[in-house]
């Protein structure tokens, strides 16, 4: 069997659009993971695949669902709340299921 980890996609939403840019968000995810545990970032393998200032999609290793949620919840952005919207198996489904409905 293939040992390549499967990926999942976590959709996040910021309460204040454009509170942070893409580069800052990547750094916040990395520092949040490293703040919880030094090796957590390498296990979870989080990466911000889509980000428009209001919504983002974070790719992660499927075995670490609870850990990625903990990482995102630990991110502190002044005057802005960051929330998890949902998890999907593909970027396409994440966009279709969460981003379109969230903007209605």
3-class SS at 32?
helix
CATH number of the domain that residue 78 is part of: 3.30.70.3250
Query: What total number of domains does the chain contain?
Result: 1
Flag whether 21 is in a domain: yes
Q: Give the pLDDT mean for 76-99.
A: 93
Flag whether 2 is in a domain: no
Flag whether 92 is in a domain: yes
Neighbour count for residue 64 (Cβ, 10 Å)? 19
Measure Cα distances from 13 to 17, 42, 97 in Å: 9, 24, 14
Flag whether 39 is in a domain: yes
Flag whether 55 is in a domain: yes
Flag whether 1 is in a domain: no
Domain region containing 45: 7-102
**Tens-place pLDDT, residues 13-54:** 999 999 999 999 999 999 999 999 889 999 999 999 999 999
How far, in Å, CA of 19 to CA of 36, rounded?
Answer: 23
C-beta of residue 85 within 8 angstroms of C-beta of residue 14: no
**Tens-place pLDDT, residues 45-76:** 999 999 999 999 999 999 999 999 999 999 99
C-beta of residue 48 within 8 angstroms of C-beta of residue 22: yes
Flag whether 43 is in a domain: yes
């Amino acid at each position: 069997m293939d040992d390549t980890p499967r990926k999942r996609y976590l959709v996040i939403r910021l309460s204040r659009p454009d509170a942070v840019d893409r580069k800052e968000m990547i750094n916040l995810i990395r520092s949040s993971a490293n703040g919880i545990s030094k090796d957590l970032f390498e296990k979870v393998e989080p990466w911000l695949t889509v980000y428009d200032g209001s919504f983002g999609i974070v790719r992660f290793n499927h075995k670490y669902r609870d850990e990625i949620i903990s990482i995102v919840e630990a991110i502190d952005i002044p005057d802005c709340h960051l929330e998890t919207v949902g998890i999907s198996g593909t970027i396409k489904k994440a966009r279709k299921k969460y981003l379109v409905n969230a903007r209605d």
